[in-house]
Amino acid sequence: MKTGVMVLNFGEPEEATKETVEPFLERIFMANSALSGSSTPEEAAARSRKMARARAPGLIEEYLEIGGSPVNAQARQQAHQLQRELKRQGLAATCYIGMQFVEPFIREAVAKAKEDGMDRLVALPVYPLCGKSTTVAALDDLQAALDDLGWAPQVREITGWHRHPAYLRLHADHISEYVVSQGITLHDAGTKLVFSAHGTPLKYLDDGPRYLLYVEETCRMIARGMGVVDYVIGYQNHSNRAVDWTQPDIETVIKEVDAKKVVVVAVSFMHEQSETLSELDIELRKEAEQAGLEFYRVPVPHDSPVFTELLADLVVNALRNEPVMGPLGMKRCLCRGRPNTFCLNASS
C-alpha cells in the first residue's frame, strides 16, 4: 500500500511583490469572509479584494524588512526530513507539501498524490494547537480537493498534538538552552517569561477546537518543564477586521509587564515567518525597548531533529489499526467529529 503524507501549512509569498502579496491576502480575507457578516459571494469577494489592496503595502514592507518569508523553505525542509525519518523507521511514505494560501496549494498536493498512485493519505497540519482557521480549515481544504477529484483513498486526519511529550520537552529544552546562551535566567525576579500565541477571532471559539484552553495548557506544561511558575500569555491579534479577538494583546502584555527583561516564546508557531520575524522581532521589540525592557525572543526550533521525530511519531500512530489503543494515546477527535480524525486532545 502506497502512503502519502500531506504536510499542511499556512504558507506565505516568497516574493515581496504586489502581484504575489495581494492575491495571498485576498485568499485569506475570502476564507474568513463570514467574520464580516452575511453577504453574497460577489460582495464577499469584492470586500476581500478591497481589504487586500489596503493591507498589501504594509505587508510588502514587512517582508522586505525581514528579507523575505522563510516559512515555505522551512516547510519543504520539514517535509524532506520527515520523509527521511519515516523511511528510517521502515515506512516508505512520500511527503507532499500543501499550503492554504500560496502555491503549492493543498489541492495541488492532493492531485499530485493521486497522480502518484497513493492508496492512503495521512493529513498532518503543522499547527501544534488546533484552531478553526488553521488546522480545521486546512483539513477542510484537503477534503474539498478529494471531492473535486472524485478520489476516495483511505485518509487519516491528525488535528491537535500540542500534548505530545516530545513537543513540550522540545520547547522546554530549547528555551532553557537559549536563556543560558544569553547569560540570563528565568528564575531571576527581574526576568519574565512571555508566551506569544497566534490570536484568533472570538467567533471562532464558539464551537470546534478549544483553542484558548490549548494555549493555556501548553504554556503551563512548558513552563512546568523548566520549573517556572511566573509567566504571562499574550496574543498576536490582527486589527484589519472589526471583530473581537483573543485577549490580552501581546502589546498590552509588554507595556504592563513588571520586569526588566522579557523572554518571548512564539508558542503556537513551528516556522519562522512574518509573525515572528516582523511582529515580534521588530514591532514588539520596539514596544519593549520603549518601555525600558531588555528584549529576548527565542528562535522557533523548526529544524530540530526532535521535531522531525515527533512528526514521524504522529504519522506512525495515526496509521495504526486502532490509534485509540496506540502508545501515544491518540484518540478520535471530538470537535471534528469524523471517524478518521485523531488527536491528542480528546481525553479532556
Say what the pTM is: 0.95
pLDDT of residue 348: 57
Grid cell for residue 154: 483511505
| Integer Cα distance of 315 and 91 in angstroms | 10
Question: Taking the chain, what is the end-to-end CA distance rounded to the nearest angstrom?
Answer: 34
Instruction: Answer for the pair 135, 125: CB distance below 8 angstroms, yes or no.
Output: yes
* pLDDT tens digits, 123-149: 999 999 999 999 999 999 999 999 999
pLDDT of residue 328: 86
**DSSP of 120-174:** EEEEEES-SS--IIIIIHHHHHHHHHHHHHT---EEEEE---TT-HHHHHHHHHH
Which residue in the block uniquely carries the three cell numbers 504554556? 219
pLDDT of residue 38: 66
Rg (CA), the chain: 20
% residues pLDDT > 90 (the chain): 89
Topology of the domain comprising 165-298: Rossmann fold (3.40.50)
pLDDT of residue 346: 79
| Domain range summary for the chain, segments of one domain joined by + | 18-65, 165-298
Among 10, 25, 13, 24, which residue's Cα sits nearest to residue 138?
A: 10
* pLDDT tens digits, 168-225: 999 999 999 999 999 999 999 999 999 999 999 999 998 778 999 999 999 999 999 9
Give the strand pairing for 191-198 and 154-158. unpaired
224, containing H or E segment: helix 211-225
Instruction: Answer for the pair 185, 259: CB distance below 8 angstroms, yes or no.
Output: no
DSSP 286: H
pLDDT of residue 37: 75
pLDDT of residue 209: 86
| Integer Cα distance of 266 and 285 in angstroms | 13
pLDDT of residue 321: 86
Average pLDDT per 10 consecutive residues for the chain, totaling 348 residues: 97 96 96 84 93 96 96 97 97 98 98 98 97 95 98 97 96 97 95 97 87 96 96 89 88 96 96 96 97 98 97 96 82 90 84
